Amino acid sequence: AQRVTQPEKLLSVFKGAPVELKCNYSYSGSPELFWYVQYSRQRLQLLLRHISRESIKGFTADLNKGETSFHLKKPFAQEEDSAMYYCALSGWGGGADGLTFGKGTHLIIQP
Amino acid sequence: GAGVSQSPRYKVTKRGQDVALRCDPISGHVSLYWYRQALGQGPEFLTYFNYEAQQDKSGLPNDRFSAERPEGSISTLTIQRTEQRDSAMYRCASSLGVEETQYFGPGTRLLVL
């Protein structure tokens, strides 16, 4: 069975400080990993996905297959980064085609 | 262009009633997904369609839940004989294809009294 674990329910950092949101996964095949974000009163939207290797809004994430992790990082946090962040996995072709989400981490950036 | 839309945005119903939740995907999107999100949890996959064909309903919790997409566009998720434990946010997403990015709608918040 595939599973995504986000160990932190809440993460609070000061503006300008580095941010790291942790994500670990369990999947027997070769997964595709995603980070979704939900800003206040907005819908869930894609922040980045592993396969595209893009940096969105200064965020990056590296897939570490040895540690089965896909941590989200940003060197200097901004107040507008405050939001709910979800890590998600898809095992296309090897499991259900829907996304498996973690429980989410609420990121608060303090001024 | 217009994003994924869902209606109603909020639904309050009494236990035992049937409810129908609607999802209107982005035009041209082949794949459509339904998720359920309980408070404090991440979205949980329920089912998905490619065109009008339901490809995977492994996530539907029991036979009170059903979904259809008869013309390959709008989809309806129906919950029969609702129970209090069905209270949650129901999210719909669509994508150009199975391995493409999923775009989410605003969700329908269901409260069963």
Residues in chain A within 8 Å Cβ distance of B40: 9, 103
B58: pLDDT confidence band, cut at 50, 70 and 90?
A: confident
What digits encode the pLDDT tens for the residues A2-57? Answer: 899 999 999 999 999 999 999 999 988 888 899 999 999 899 999 998 877 777 89
| Segment (H or E) for A48 | strand A45-49
Measure the CA–CA gap between B7 and B21, rounded to whole angstroms. 6
Chain B contact present for A17, CB below 8 A: no
- Judged on CB neighbours under 10 Å (0-12, 13-18, 19+), A67 is exposed
| pLDDT of A105 higher than 50 | yes
**Contact at 8 Å (CB) between A77 and A18?**
yes
State how far residue A3 is from chain B, nearest Cα, in angstroms.
11
What digits encode the pLDDT tens for the residues A69-84? Answer: 999 999 999 999 999 9
Could you give the percent of chain B with pLDDT greater than 90?
A: 89
Measure the CA–CA gap between B91 and B88, rounded to whole angstroms. 10
Measure the CA–CA gap between A33 and A37, rounded to whole angstroms. 14
Classify residue B26 by its DSSP letter: P
